[in-house]
Amino acid sequence: MTGFFGSYLFAWIFWLSLSLGCLGLLLLHQLFRAAWGRAVLPVLEAGARSLPIMAVLFLPILIWGMGDLYPWVHGGDAIDAHRAPYLNMPFFLIRAAFYFIFWVGVSSYLIGLRRRERLTGDVSLAQRRTNVSAPSLVLFVLTVTFAMTDWVMSTEHHWFSTIYGVWFVTGQALSAVAIAALWWRKRQETAAPMQEADFPISRDLGNLLLAFTMMWAYISLSQFLIIWSANLPEETTFYLRRSGHGWDVAGALLIVGQFMIPFLALLSGKTKRSPVMLSRVAGWILAMRVLDIYWIVMPSVREGGVLPAATDVLTFAGIGIIWLVGFVRALRGALPDEADVATAAEAPSHA
């Protein structure tokens, strides 16, 4: 059964990371209200609305998969004993509940406020969104750090890394901007296209993709460089496990595919200005994000080579379909954003 829950964890973490990325950008948007954020707000809200589904999809792991995935459940050595006050089943469950209650709570509150703003025309509610989002953003980064430490890092028996949470936060934001860029292309093609000269949304999204691509590379390298330089046995296990059986090839592919190719492509203003070209880069980045999560999760939960098992593909597709159905339905029901975009042009723009 280990094989199955390893696959399940990988698939669940990937799709969860899309929702969390959307929530992170949703919170960030409330602080800036830049034109790009107004334009892609429906996507961010729809992504965040899949969080309750993801909470339900966590239950199989909690009920049947814990023993297979997390070595600390069995305990055994002095380090496990030392960590037991934190890493134990009841506290693990309480924390998981807290993360999801916070994420679902803050996203429904923000979406609800905007809906009320639409209905009543009370613009003061926008300020309330900002007031809630500022402290929530801090708590968001903290909860994602703790969640990823609990759910992914603790699949490694003794290994630890303090930059791990930020690594995920950045990767999630990268995924979310990529989804927004894909949606923006579709929007430009179907709805009345907006003047790109007036609203350089595509360029802004491209610049964000570039920034998060660089940040992802920066954090990935920082973690590797620190562990490589110190060369301590308990820290190097993570990379040693990923230095053979094809995992080294996958890692090299990530350096080229998730950093070098998007980085060079996004340096060009031409790529960023065209929603079509930008959507291709965004699609490529999303594909690399799948590989990235696979590379982070799988070697810790399953012995063996880099080639995916049938369960990897099936769980990925299964959770993916559930996520996508939820996302598309939320997107259909989302508030339109034309009015917000129009006001962005009237206010002096500093996007």
Partner 1 sequence: MSAATVHGIIARYESADALLSAARQARQRGYRRMDAFSPMPVHGLSEALDAEDFRLPWLVFLCGVAGAALGYGLQYFVSVVDYPLNIGGRPFHSWPSFIPVTFETTVLLAAFGAVFGMFAMNGLPRPHHPVFGAPGFDRASSDGFFLCVEATDPKFDREEVKRFFADTGAVDVAEVDE
> Contact residues for partner 1 (CB under 8 A)?
197-198, 200, 221, 224-225, 228-229, 231, 267, 269, 348-351
Q: What is the tally of helices (H) and strands (E) in the chain?
A: 16, 0
Report in angstroms how near the CB of residue 294 gets to partner 1 at its nearest. 23
What CA–CA distance (Å, rounded) separates 71 from 303? 14
C-beta of 63 vs 230, nearer to partner 1: 230
Report in angstroms how near the CB of residue 223 gets to partner 1 at its nearest. 11
Report in angstroms how near the CB of residue 348 gets to partner 1 at its nearest. 8
DSSP3 helix / strand / coil % (the chain, rounded to 5): 80, 0, 20
C-beta of 188 vs 223, nearer to partner 1: 223
Q: Token pair 């630890």 is at which residue?
A: 160
Question: Computed from CA positions of residues 140, 138, 136, 38, in that sequence, does the dihedral angle turn out positive or negative?
Answer: negative
What CA–CA distance (Å, rounded) separates 179 from 343? 24
What CA–CA distance (Å, rounded) separates 85 from 77? 14
Report in angstroms how near the CB of residue 229 gets to partner 1 at its nearest. 7
C-beta of 73 vs 351, nearer to partner 1: 351
The single-letter DSSP state of residue 304 is: S
What CA–CA distance (Å, rounded) separates 52 from 57? 9
CB 213 within 8 A of CB 262: yes
C-beta of 255 vs 322, nearer to partner 1: 255
Report in angstroms how near the CB of residue 197 gets to partner 1 at its nearest. 5
Report in angstroms how near the CB of residue 247 gets to partner 1 at its nearest. 17
C-beta of 89 vs 267, nearer to partner 1: 267
C-beta of 230 vs 310, nearer to partner 1: 230
Burial 51-78 (b: 16+ CB within 10 A, else e): bbbbbebbeebeeebbebbbbbeeeeee
Report in angstroms how near the CB of residue 218 gets to partner 1 at its nearest. 9
C-beta of 93 vs 225, nearer to partner 1: 225
Q: Which residues have a Cβ under 8 Å from the Cβ of 138 and sit 6 or more positions away?
A: none
